[in-house]
Amino acid sequence: MASWNSVELEVLFYVLGWISFCSWAICFYPQLILNFRRKSVQGLNFDFVVLNLTKHTSYLIYNASLFFSSTVQRQYRQKYGFNQMIPVAVNDVAFSLHAVLMTALTLFQVAIYDRGNQKFSKIAIAIVSVAWLSAAACVFVALPTHSWYWLVSCFNTLQIVMTTIKYMPQAVFNFQRKSTSGFSMGYVSFDFLGSTTSFCQMMVQSIDQRSWVNLYGNIGKTLLSLVSIFFDILFMVQHFVLYTSKKKTNVSPSDDAVSKEPMLRPSYDQHQNDVC
């Protein structure tokens, strides 16, 4: 079984891991607090939230399975080599569990707070439905051969796909409104820090092991970090460069007003009528 070659790199690995965990854990709270103070979720794209919940749930299944299951770990080493370290750390499992809970709480806020005329799109609902139907199909395929690592890799692939597309509705929403009002830059800042330190953590392990298997053996975590960094930079550009004249624009929902509009809309193009 693989072990660390450098005590210093091992310590740095865990320091970066917990910085990443804390940053990613904290990143949910600015948006939750913003929604609570405004008693409104206007400006937060609902598709982003529901896609994010699917992403974090699938990532939790992958991380928990690879970290706790000796069978999955054995099949991982059979594929990548018995001298390879498992690329999932305890902070990855802790983050995934916390992320599922916080995203579910955000979705609850969408249900109870003023949402104006914003709704979920049928496109997002269809994507989520297809994602979980595909996951169910993978379970039935894996059962006869007990290909458990292949199965959890399917969930890892699912979270990669969801990570790639989950930011798009919010980015498009900001572009259509020419504003980032209602979308917390605190979320973006901590997400950027968490993604950067997570990628650096994987690099440290690869350097210590003198192998890049850690990066492509857990391609989900690698792409999660890189895709998140890309979109976080995009959101920062939107907020601080493109839409600076409107970033202080705020919606002013009444204290007790909660929209009774249906929460499902046909497509993204209806965002043009949303309140800025």
**How does pLDDT run across 127-173, given as a tens digit for each residue?**
999 999 999 999 999 998 888 999 998 998 898 888 889 888 899 98
**Domain regions of the chain by residue span:** 7-241
- pLDDT over 90 (residue 237): yes
- Mean pLDDT over 46-68 rounds to 92
- Mean pLDDT over 205-223 rounds to 72
The chain-wide mean pLDDT, for the chain, equals: 83
- pLDDT over 70 (residue 24): yes
- pLDDT over 50 (residue 246): yes
Q: Tell me, what's the pLDDT at 188?
A: 92
Residue 57 pLDDT grade (very low, low, confident, very high; cuts 50, 70, 90): very high
- Mean pLDDT over 213-232 rounds to 78
Measured from the Cβ of residue 187, the count of other Cβ atoms closer than 10 Å reads 22
- pLDDT over 80 (residue 44): yes
Lowest pLDDT segment from 68-72, 145-149, 267-271: 267-271
Spatial separation of the C-alpha atoms in residues 195 and 93, rounded to whole Å: 15
Lowest pLDDT segment from 76-80, 135-139, 263-267: 263-267
Spatial separation of the C-alpha atoms in residues 42 and 192, rounded to whole Å: 23
CA distances from residue 244 to 153, 167, 241 in whole angstroms, order as listed: 41, 20, 6
Q: How far apart are the first and last CA of the chain?
A: 56
Could you give the 3-state DSSP secondary structure of residue 21?
helix
What DSSP assignment string belongs to 175-213?
A: HHHT--TTS-HHHHHHHHHHHHHHHHHHHHHHHHHT-SH
Measured from the Cβ of residue 135, the count of other Cβ atoms closer than 10 Å reads 18
- pLDDT over 60 (residue 255): no
CA distances from residue 21 to 38, 74, 91, 193 in whole angstroms, order as listed: 27, 26, 6, 10
pTM of the entire structure? 0.74
